[in-house]
Structure 1
């Protein structure tokens, strides 16, 4: 009998199938037995490609990290550090909201995942090039991960039921319209994310200018004075 042109099983097929299961049913739906059944193979054959389920989920998470745009961190791109962080955060959140069930795995950090490590490397390198001290660049990378992954773990708008009788004004005088939030999930959640992101970047801008002022003043002598340019504003 002629051998098939393509192997019956591959890492990519396993990962694609696992990602589809995670997207449709959540992390608990993934098991080696379930994957083998979905792929039409025997369970032990999966172990030729992955040691266990955790490795499969790590690989799924890395395919999501690979969707994040990093072009804004290229040295030749021309965007200042604030605009680069802003645009990257939007791409990062878009990738996570497309695959929300894998976010708990991504939230653990990049570990050994190649795409996840490229993300961390790009952010850190861009912040250091912009003039942030390495320690602060590390904090910024961590801060952005906390903020973006946290925003993707759930929906604020869908945290309220759509029953207008659920929030008695006698008990919750300011939640009279809360039952309407779920109907405007995308607008509410995206607006909240953008508001928080701009506030975060404004705060970093203040720290950046304060740090540069201290550095320039120290370099100019005890009686010197350094003019500080305002942080660039996002449109």
Structure 2
């Protein structure tokens, strides 16, 4: 049998090509026309598999966010659950930074995202957090993660030592920060997350005390 003249399409191949476009050109660079051209087919061929560009983006979003881990809550340790969720959430967002605006817009109608949100909220409430506090905690973790995934402290400095020499005596080594940016970003996020969780620990202890659930 001869090779087919038209490439064989699947939802997986469409999403893979779409993500490659987003990775190189950003969300604004993705269109059904450009996607069809990359796959070597007519635009009409895409619509046999997907109905809209948003449908493609939602499927890509689900695939990227599938690595976000909320299984830590199963051990009934809300702090460990939050830490695992936050770290895996940040890693997922950083894996495809051009998708970040789409992924952080909220769970929307993506069932997998809603299941994760439900798991986090339910675990916090089951642990004794009031529902409103559980909502605030979930929102706060999102703020921490999205901020950490969006920017880099160390990458904001220049490699040229002369820019800092003499004028900024406390930043004389700033030009070296870019070479260890990933390490600094990781440690800084860990410091921020630990400080936030320590604050929650203190607040949680207060809740338990008011509820008469403290030792002794």
Q: TM-score, normalised by structure 2?
A: 0.88
| Offset of residue 182 of structure 1 | 0.7
Q: Does 1:132 align with 2:129?
A: yes
Residue 215 (str. 1) matches residue 202 (str. 2): no
Further displaced range: 79-88 or 188-197: 79-88
Q: Is 1:166 matched with 2:171?
A: no
2: distance between equivalents of 1:136 and 1:88?
A: 17
What are the ranges of 5 or more consecutive residues in structure 2 without an aligned counterpart? Answer: none
Question: Which position in structure 2 is the counterpart of 1:59?
Answer: 59
3-state DSSP of counterpart to 1:174: helix
Shift of 1:99: 1.5
Q: Structure 2 CA distance, aligned partners of 1:108 and 1:157?
A: 26
Quickly say closer, same or farther: Cα 1:167–1:228, change in 2 above 3 A: farther
**1:11 Cα deviation after fit:** 2.5
Deviation readout 1:205-234 (Å, 9 max, x if unpaired):
111111222222xxxxxxxxx7469xxxxx
Shift of 1:17: 1.4
Q: Is the 8 A contact 2:124 2:134 kept in 1?
A: yes
Change (3 A) 1:161 1:28: farther
Does the 8 Å CA contact 2:73/2:80 hold for their aligned counterparts? Answer: no
1:159-189, Cα deviation, whole Å (9 max, x unpaired):
112111223532x332211111110011100
Aligned to 1:187: 183
CA shift at 1:23, angstroms?
Answer: 2.5
- The alpha carbon displacement at 1:116 in A equals 1.4
- The 1-side partners of 2:215 and 2:32 are apart by 58
**1:232 aligned residue:** none
- Kept in 1, the 8 Å contact 2:70–2:84? The answer is no
Equivalent residue for 1:204, pick from 197, 200, 208:
200
Instruction: Calculate the TM-score normalised by the size of structure 1.
Output: 0.82
The one of 120, 144, 147 equivalent to 1:147 is 144
Q: Counterparts in 2 of 1:87-106, with a 5 A limit?
A: 87-106=84-103
Q: Bigger shift: 160-169 or 130-139? A: 160-169
Structure-2 separation of matches of 1:215 and 1:139? 20
Counterpart in the other structure of 2:21: 21
Q: Which runs of 5 or more residues in structure 1 are unaligned?
A: 217-225, 230-235
Which 4+ stretches in 1 moved above 3 angstroms? 47-52, 226-229
Q: Which moved more, 1:43-52 or 1:154-163?
A: 43-52
Contact 1:73 1:123 in 2 (8 A): yes
Deviation at 1:51, TM superposition (A): 4.0
